Chains A and B, each alone.
Chain A
C-alpha cells in the first residue's frame, strides 16, 4: 500500500528533491522521520492539489509529524522551506537578484484577496500608519492587518541583506516602533467609551482578551514577514539552521526564553500524567511475590485438596519517603519549580514527600502542597511566601544545609531518599560538606540534581564535587527529558 502506484514522472523530480531536503532538515531538528514515513509523504503530496498551500502542508504534517509537541518545529521549518516557492513550490528555487523586488512580486502573486492597500502604504506618515493599525485592530480587519505588518517590517525593521542578525532582533525593532501596548490601552479606552454604561470587570476582561488575540495575530504576521525576507536574503537552508529550536523536552531549564517557558509549562502536565500512568502500571504488572500458602490451600479445595494452582502474594514494594531540598535563587528557580512540580504530581508513588527551599536561609514548604490540587498555585506560594533569605539573598549552600541539619536532620531516616537540587554555586561560602556526609549516612539514598552542563561543574564557585563525594549519585538534569528519566528511575 505504501509503494507508489505509478512511476514518478520527470516533472515530479524537483518535488522529490525538495521533499528530501525538507525531511533532512526535520531530522536535523530532532524529529524522528523514518524512511517509510518519507515515502508516505511523497505519496501523499501526489494526491493533493499542489497549488493549495494548506492542503500541501497538512499532507506533509499527517505523514511526517507523529507527535503534537513537534508541530511548532514542523510549522516553522515548513514556512521557511516553502514560503518563497509561491505557487510552484518546487521549481522556483533561485533567490538571486534583489530580494525586496522579488518579494513585492510575490505579494502580488500570493494575493489571497489582499490585492488592495499595500501599494499605497509607502506614502503614509508614521502617525497615519499607527492610526491605520489602530483602526485595523479595532475592526479586526485581517487583510488590512497583514498589509500593515508588511509595511511596518519594510519601514522599521531596517533589514539589510547579508547582515548576520537573527530574526528576533528585527522583530524587536519593528515592535518597538509600533508601540502595541499603547495601542492596546487606546483600544480598551475606546471600548469603554463605546459601552453605554461602562464595562463591568468581566466584560472588560473579555474585550481585552479579544484585542490581545488580534495583536497576537499581528505579531505572527510580522514574524512571518520577517522570516520571508530573511529567507529571501539567505536561502532556506541557512535560515532553517538558524531557526533550529530545541523541542520542548530538550529546552535547557536555565536558558529558556519566556516563550519556551510557556511551552515547558504546557509540556509538563501531560508529561506528569503519562509518568503517573506508567508508574502505576509498572507497579501493577510487577513480578509475582512469594508463595501465598494460605490462599493456595484454600484454592486446593476446589481440586479435591490437590494444590494444582499455586497462589502468590502481591508484592508490596516499599514506598520511599522523599525529601526535596531545592535552591530557588534566580539562576536555578525554573529548574526547582519543574522538579517540585513533577515530584508532587507523582507523590502517590511515595509514602511522603517533604520539601524545603533555600537561598541562603532554608524553610519547609511541605504545607503549601498539602491538600492542594493545584500545584502551580502552590509553587507560586513557595516563591512568594517562603522565608529563604538569611543575609543577602545570594545562594549559600553551606548555611542552608546547616539549618536543615539542625532543624530536620533528626527526621531523616533509613527510608528517606534525599534529593538536593541546585547548581552548587556557593558564592565562595564555606561548603559544610560534612552535612552531606551525615545525611548520606542516615538516609537511604542521597542524590544531587544539577541543572548545569556537566562540563561546567566545579568551575568558578561551583563546588558540586565537594558534595558529590558523599552522594549516591549526581545527575545532570538540564531538560524535561533528563528530569523524566531521573524520576522514572527514582521510583
Chain B
C-alpha cells in the first residue's frame, strides 16, 4: 500500500503550505493516521481548528473532502445509503406489461447498484480517487447511532443486506471531530487515534495571526497573542477561540490601530468575548491595578 505522507515533517510542511500551522502532535497524529490506516478522533474546545484540519489535509494531499455533518436524529438513510424508491417503482411499472419477467429477476434488478443512493460514508469508501472523510461533531448523534459508524471505521466496509458487503476501493483518511458534549462510546474511541487540539501556545498563535491576517504588523500580532493569552488565564464561561482571536486582529487592523492600549482593548473586547459577564470580568481585570487571580476562598 502506498502512503500519502513520507515523514512527519513533510506533513507539517504540507499543512503550512496551505496556511495551516500544525504543531508537533497534530502533524504526528495525521502522519500516523495514514501509516496505520486508522481514523482520527479530534477533540478540543470550539474554534481551535478541528474541522479546518481535515479540510487542510484534504487540500494539501489533493484529495476530495467528503463531509458528514452529524446532528441529533441522523440515521442510516442520511449517513450510509438509501434505496432510490422512486426509481425502483418506475422500474417495476415498466416491467408490468411484460409477462415474461419473473419475480426474482425484477427483485435482483431493483436491488442493485443502480438503485442505490450513496450517502457520505458510502461515497467515501466507494470513491476511486483519494478522499478525506470528515465526520463533523460526532458527539451530536445518539449513542445508538454511533454503532452505525463502527463497521466503516474499523474495516472500511459497508454491509447492505440485499447486496452483500461493499469493501473500500481505497482507504480514506478519516477525521471525526467532537466538542465533547458527551462521552463517546469506548467502542468508537478504541478504533480511533486520539488527538486533542487545545488553544495554541502564544508563539504559535502569533504565527497564526501573522499568516491569516493580511497587513498585520509583527508587533501588533505579538501584542494580540499576549493579550489573548492573558484573557485565557481568567476564569471565564467561554474562552476566546482562535477564530475569535483572528476576528479581533482583523478588526484592529481595520480600525488602523497599531498599538493596543487599555482603551482600545476595552472598546473592542466584545469581539473576543461573547458573554456579558466575561466581558465585565475582563474589563475589570485589565483596568484594575491588582492583577490578583481568582483566589481560593474558604470560610
Chain A positions within 8 Å of B, measured between CB atoms, are 1, 32, 34, 36-37, 40, 43-44, 47-48, 52, 54-55, 58-59, 61-63, 65-68, 71, 200-206, 208-210, 213, 258, 261, 265, 270, 273-274, 277-278, 281, 285, 328-330, 333-334, 359, 372-374, 376-377, 379-380, 383-384, 388, 393
Q: How far is the CB of A2 from chain B (nearest CB, A)?
A: 8
Q: Contact at A374–B36, with CB atoms within 8 Å?
A: no
Q: Given A47-B32, A202-B287, is A330 in contact with B24 using a C-beta cutoff of 8 Å?
A: no
Q: Contact at A376–B262, with CB atoms within 8 Å?
A: no
Looking at the complex, which one of A62, A278, A383 makes contact with B32 (CB distance below 8 Å)?
A62
B184-215 with Cβ < 8 A to chain A: 186, 189-190, 192-196, 202
Q: Contact at B262–A200, with CB atoms within 8 Å?
A: yes
A374 to B237, CA, bound (A): 7
Q: Contact at A68–B43, with CB atoms within 8 Å?
A: yes
- Interface of chain A: mostly helix, strand, loop or mixed: helix
A359 to B298, CA, bound (A): 12
Looking at the complex, which one of A32, A200, A373, A384 makes contact with B276 (CB distance below 8 Å)?
A373
Q: Given A47-B36, A209-B230, A209-B233, is A377 in contact with B277 using a C-beta cutoff of 8 Å?
A: yes
Q: Contact at A334–B298, with CB atoms within 8 Å?
A: yes
Chain B positions within 8 Å of A, measured between CB atoms, are 8, 24-25, 28-29, 31-32, 35-38, 40-41, 43-44, 142, 154-155, 180-183, 186, 189-190, 192-196, 202, 223, 226-227, 229-230, 233, 235, 237, 261-262, 265, 275-278, 281, 285-289, 291, 294, 296-299
Q: Contact at A274–B8, with CB atoms within 8 Å?
A: no
Which residues of chain B are near A48, meaning CB under 8 Å? 8, 28, 32
A383 to B299, CA, bound (A): 6
Q: Contact at B289–A47, with CB atoms within 8 Å?
A: no
Looking at the complex, which one of B154, B181, B182, B194 makes contact with A62 (CB distance below 8 Å)?
B194
Task: Provide 9 A-B residue pairs closer than 8 Å at the C-beta atoms, listed in order of the A residue.
Answer: A37-B190, A44-B32, A47-B35, A48-B8, A59-B32, A62-B25, A63-B194, A209-B233, A384-B297
Q: Given A48-B28, A55-B28, is A206 in contact with B299 using a C-beta cutoff of 8 Å?
A: no
Which residues of chain B are near A330, meaning CB under 8 Å? 298-299
Looking at the complex, which one of B32, B40, B182, B194 makes contact with A65 (CB distance below 8 Å)?
B194
Which single residue of chain A is at the shortest CB-CB distance from B264? A202
Q: Given A59-B32, A334-B298, is A202 in contact with B229 using a C-beta cutoff of 8 Å?
A: no
Given A208-B291, A388-B299, 10 further pairs, Cβ under 8 A? A1-B36, A43-B36, A55-B24, A62-B193, A201-B289, A202-B265, A205-B230, A209-B229, A374-B237, A374-B277
Q: Contact at A210–B226, with CB atoms within 8 Å?
A: yes
A270 to B45, CA, bound (A): 10
Q: How far is the CB of A390 from chain B (nearest CB, A)?
A: 13
Q: Contact at B182–A277, with CB atoms within 8 Å?
A: yes
Which residues of chain B are near A383, meaning CB under 8 Å? 297-299
Q: Contact at A68–B237, with CB atoms within 8 Å?
A: no
Q: Contact at B286–A66, with CB atoms within 8 Å?
A: no
Which residues of chain B are near A285, meaning CB under 8 Å? 142
Which residues of chain A are near B182, meaning CB under 8 Å? 274, 277-278
Which residues of chain A are near B196, meaning CB under 8 Å? 68, 71
Complex A-B, nearest 10 residue pairs according to Cβ-Cβ distance, in ascending order: A202-B262, A374-B277, A58-B28, A333-B298, A66-B189, A62-B193, A383-B297, A47-B35, A68-B196, A209-B230
Q: How far is the CB of B109 from chain A (nearest CB, A)?
A: 33
Q: Which of A203, A205, A285, A376 has the most CB of B within 10 A?
A: A205
A333 to B296, CA, bound (A): 11
Q: Contact at A200–B261, with CB atoms within 8 Å?
A: yes
Q: Contact at A328–B299, with CB atoms within 8 Å?
A: yes
Which residues of chain A are near B155, meaning CB under 8 Å? 1
Q: Contact at B286–A270, with CB atoms within 8 Å?
A: no
Which residues of chain A are near B202, meaning CB under 8 Å? 213
Which single residue of chain A is at the shortest CB-CB distance from B227? A206
Looking at the complex, which one of B25, B186, B223, B261 makes contact with A61 (CB distance below 8 Å)?
B25
Which residues of chain B are near A59, meaning CB under 8 Å? 28, 32
Which residues of chain B are near A204, meaning CB under 8 Å? 289, 291
Q: Contact at A333–B299, with CB atoms within 8 Å?
A: yes
Which single residue of chain B is at the shortest CB-CB distance from A44? B32
Q: How far is the CB of B273 from chain A (nearest CB, A)?
A: 12
Q: Contact at B25–A58, with CB atoms within 8 Å?
A: yes
Q: How far is the CB of B143 from chain A (nearest CB, A)?
A: 9
Q: Contact at B277–A54, with CB atoms within 8 Å?
A: no
Q: How far is the CB of A88 from chain B (nearest CB, A)?
A: 20
Q: Given A210-B226, A274-B182, A373-B275, is A40 in contact with B36 using a C-beta cutoff of 8 Å?
A: yes
A377 to B278, CA, bound (A): 11
Q: Contact at A62–B29, with CB atoms within 8 Å?
A: yes
Q: Contact at B181–A273, with CB atoms within 8 Å?
A: yes
Q: How far is the CB of B153 from chain A (nearest CB, A)?
A: 10
Q: Contact at B226–A206, with CB atoms within 8 Å?
A: yes
Looking at the complex, which one of B36, B181, B230 makes contact with A44 (CB distance below 8 Å)?
B36
Which residues of chain A are near B291, meaning CB under 8 Å? 204-205, 208-209
